[in-house]
Structure 1
Amino acid sequence: MLLTLAWGSVFFPGLFALSTWWLRRSRPQWTKNDCVMISTRLVSSVHGVLATGSGIVIIYSCRDVMTDRHWLAREYVWFLIPYMLYDTYAMYLCEWYKTKEEKRRHSFTTFQNFLSKNRLMLTHHAVILLALVPVAQRLRGDLGDFFVGCIFTAELSTPFVSLGRVLIQLKQQHTLLYKVNGILTLATFFACRILLFPFMYWSYGQQQGLRLYQVPFHIPVHCNVANAFLIAPQIYWFSLLCKKAVQLFGGPQGKKDG
């Protein structure tokens, strides 16, 4: 546990610092804000790949969705904790450099703007650290590694979301790459953050001989409540992605970019 926490505490900030340093040397025409933001997105993408890979390994290793075990189900959670703390700081750093670039006054207002713009993501991080980590590591006992793996795969959309933000930062919204990435973002987000929950119910039902619609009535109420809390923000974020997609492909902005 402590070794995994230590590795995570070195890996994510270290990758961020190395990436920022390399971008500032190789792209001197970019602003510090560009370098910091793109480095942040790079680290998020790496985390997304690692989490998704861990999830896939766990899913394919657990034939029994309730009792089978895999060491990654616990170890990657410890690796995840430093990432969440680092990512919170990195988001604030992006806001700080953006304020500096716009030559606005650095004050408590910068911190307030950071909280206002990122309140949903900050809540997401807090819920993971304060609720999901204790559940995954202690409260669930020795059950449900399969479902932990499923939750890890929700990060599959992260690299595509990050690439979209980078292209916007570099003012590349008019490119084919941006549009193709938008489609992939929608597809991966819908598959791994929305359909993921019916898939978990279906997997449990297959093992227990239940139909999908019967599963919610055969599991503890708190499991259904927890899943509802988890999927609610995903549906909200997906609706925002759909609105952007409509603007890109069907609205005035999409025509302008085309």
Structure 2
Amino acid sequence: MGITVAIENLKNEPTPGTSRVHGIHDYLYQFFGSSSIDYEIKTENELPPSLKNINKSCIKVPENTTAEELEACFTASPNQDYIEIDGHFNGILSTNSVIYGAKHLRVIFRGDHGDEILLRFKGNRLQFHLTKFHDSTICQFLKEWKSNQEFQNLKSLVINSYDYKNYDAAELLKDIDVRQLDKAEDILHINWRMSISFPSAMMVGCFPLKSFPSSFESRDYLIRDDDGEKASVFIEDDDVRFALWKGNSSVMKTIDR
């Protein structure tokens, strides 16, 4: 695993080719290389310059940031393992944003709708906090996954709307072919790991925690039409959770109650 290096509290300087930030990053990359290093960029209420060879980005977006300004942060490193968007993010991304293609995307979007981000996402794992969705969007997502029209790469989705929205499982699932385990006493417990940004205090450390466990239990599941792929779904109060039974990071087991 090697060492993970984070660069924090960056200034978005007007001449990135000669900026201090670029100089520091180039020096670190030249010294450590890339074989065993994860490079993460983390900012607080400012946009970072676009740097090469970045694996993770954790950005607290400043006020009045446009979609184009946010997109420019990822020009030099478009294919990232983990992106976290927080701060004064208004939920608007460029139409073909590279953020939609992040393997793991975490969005903290206080009280507004995240519908467009969900429907455009192309990566593996997606997580929303403090974000609400129209019921029609949740239904569209489930139907498009089941029919194999979209979301072929998706392995898990977690929505925590908290006090902003509650969801009615019976209403959302009434027109979808939802299966249940044969025995009422059986339940599926789905486990996977979601990437995280490591703690701010850990600027450089050996073997930092790179992911955290996520899980849920449910008897309800869907079967994708074309290939028979299975995914469990859980909808209750302000939570919506969805995960494949199998995949690189997912483990399924049946728990008898």
TM range (shorter): under 0.3
TM-score w.r.t. structure 1 length?
A: 0.26
Report the structure, 1 or 2, having the larger helix content. Answer: 1
Report the structure, 1 or 2, having the larger strand content. Answer: 2
- Name the structure, 1 or 2, with higher relative contact order (CA <8 Å, separation 6+): 1
